[in-house]
Amino acid sequence: MVQDDVWQAVLGELEISVTRPAYLTYFKNTALLKAEDGQVIIGVTNVFVKETIEKKFNDLVLSTLKKQGIEVKEVVYKMIPSKMQKAPEEEFSETDDQEEERPEPRITTQTTSGRPTLNERYTFDNFVVGDGNELAFAACQAVAAQPGLKYNPLYLYGGVGIGKTHLIQAVGNGLQARNPDAKVLYIATEQFVREFVIALRARTTATFANHYRSADVLIVDDVQFLAGKDKIQEEFFHTFNTLHQANKQIIISSDKPPKDIAMLENRLKSRFAGGMSIDMQAPDFETRCAIIQTKAEANQVELEPEVVEYLASLVTSNVRELEGALNQLLAWCDVRSITPTVAIAASLLNVNKGRPKHLSAKQIIERTAKHFQVPLEDLVGPKRDKDIVVPRQVAMYILHEELRLSYPKIAHELGRKDHTTAMHSVRKIAQESQIDAGLRSAITEIKEQLYA
């Protein structure tokens, strides 16, 4: 067998030995680089994956390799460049020997320690890596390994609920864990703005400034909220420069790239863009499935794959909403001590999308007949003319999509005996609607009217 085939076989085994999220996160993007004299070298794409496999899965990898008939004494994991070059690993060294007392800010959103803090919930470990976030993940890892030197500032941007806050806090948590004395400050921009306004009024801006300028790592979330606030931008500009010049790491998140933030001073835009900017995308279907599985597992619930896939197809762009949908489903089933199913998820979650609870097969068929202006009797009758057949197939397709009826049931609803007819029809419309815009818009219109 060639190396690639061997590794594919090993991956196949691993895929069934570990949980799906673990497989997707750690193994999916690995490669067998070399197998010689008992030494096997496996390529991995980031530090985190490397460390986790070494720590948790090394024995499993070893035994799986042996099962595939590979002579192996030792496995070495090597980083291979993926889309970006990774920073070398290096301990975070605290270089700030400042003797002077660091004044606490007088007014902040106080926690028990007197400072806004990181949320421990956000770690690299519980972040599922996939298309759309892997570059951001790798960059955050690099920064956590070597703060202040490589990507400074690190600027992540993208839509709502796709894991920006999670990742930038994970960097903070990682750094703080390694170096408990480091002053890692996390701040939501809105809070920064509020504090500044209060400091202005109380004439304590110097204290305010000192607080942030004495950070070893400053994490600023949702920086787009600086827009249009000139005085604060000025203050922030100086804070940024002070930290940057001292090689202190700055990490920023935003909903858009620096150049697109309206009413933001140009000098700030250019500072923000001066390090590494990364565009984060919503996770793809596979990653969404992995996220759901991870979160279900954290709740000690095992979900059927169909349920996972259903949720992942229901909520597509926002992980926070995805979590919300999952939690709702789990809670509903938990109080009733029942196992989550697609049907429960469908009825429960569609309600929230403003859909009627009991959309019936009859409504769908009637609405389809009306749309295509064919008599209802013909749609469910024996006629096989083309101008009847297509609307009939569309009705079957919508029954499948919206009600998740079984094929025999769909066939029955339209007066057919054979369920394979329904199967072919659904498939045909699914395919044709990909290329036929007219068909696609017909389906959309029918659905819109059904849910109107």
Residues in contact with Mg ion by the rule CB under 5 A = 164-165
Q: Which of 30, 52, 64, 133 binds ligand ADP (CB under 6 A)?
A: 133
For ligand ADP, the closer of residues 320 and 409 by Cβ is 320
Q: Which stretch binds ligand ADP (CB under 6 A): 100-108, 155-163, 267-275, 437-445?
A: 155-163
Binding residues for ligand ADP, rule CB under 6 A, total: 15
Distance, in Å, from the CA atom of 20 to the CA atom of 43, rounded to the nearest integer, reads: 20
CA 412 to chain centre: 40
Q: Strand (E) positions, 319-441? A: none
Q: Among 298, 328, 325, which Cα is nearest to 313's?
A: 325
Strands across the sheet containing 276-280: 184-188, 217-221, 249-254, 154-158, 276-280
Q: Are 156 and 253 in contact, with CB atoms under 8 Å apart? A: yes
Shortest Å, Cβ 54 to ligand ADP = 22
Q: Taking CB under 6 A as the rule, does residue 161 contact ligand ADP?
A: yes
Q: Taking CB under 6 A as the rule, does residue 21 contact ligand ADP?
A: no
Shortest Å, Cβ 328 to ligand ADP = 14
Distance, in Å, from the CA atom of 410 to the CA atom of 421, rounded to the nearest integer, reads: 9
Distance, in Å, from the CA atom of 170 to the CA atom of 404, rounded to the nearest integer, reads: 39
Show the tokens assigned to 275.
């390090």
Q: Taking CB under 6 A as the rule, does residue 170 contact ligand ADP?
A: no
Q: Taking CB under 6 A as the rule, does residue 166 contact ligand ADP?
A: yes
Residues between 276 and 295 with contacts to ligand ADP, criterion CB under 6 A: 283, 291
For ligand ADP, the closer of residues 193 and 291 by Cβ is 291
Show the tokens assigned to 216.
């070893």
Binding string, residues 292-331; x marks residues near ligand ADP by CB under 6 A:
---------------------------xx--x--------
Computed on alpha carbons and rounded to an integer, the radius of gyration of the chain in Å comes to 28
Residues between 112 and 131 with contacts to ligand ADP, criterion CB under 6 A: 127-128
Residues β-bridged to residue 34: 41
Q: Taking CB under 6 A as the rule, does residue 28 contact ligand ADP?
A: no
Q: Taking CB under 6 A as the rule, does residue 89 contact ligand ADP?
A: no
Query: Under DSSP, is residue 347 helix (H, G, I), strand (E, B) or coil?
Result: helix
Residues of the shown chain interacting with ligand ADP in the complex, contacts defined by CB under 6 A: 127-128, 133, 160-166, 283, 291, 319-320, 323
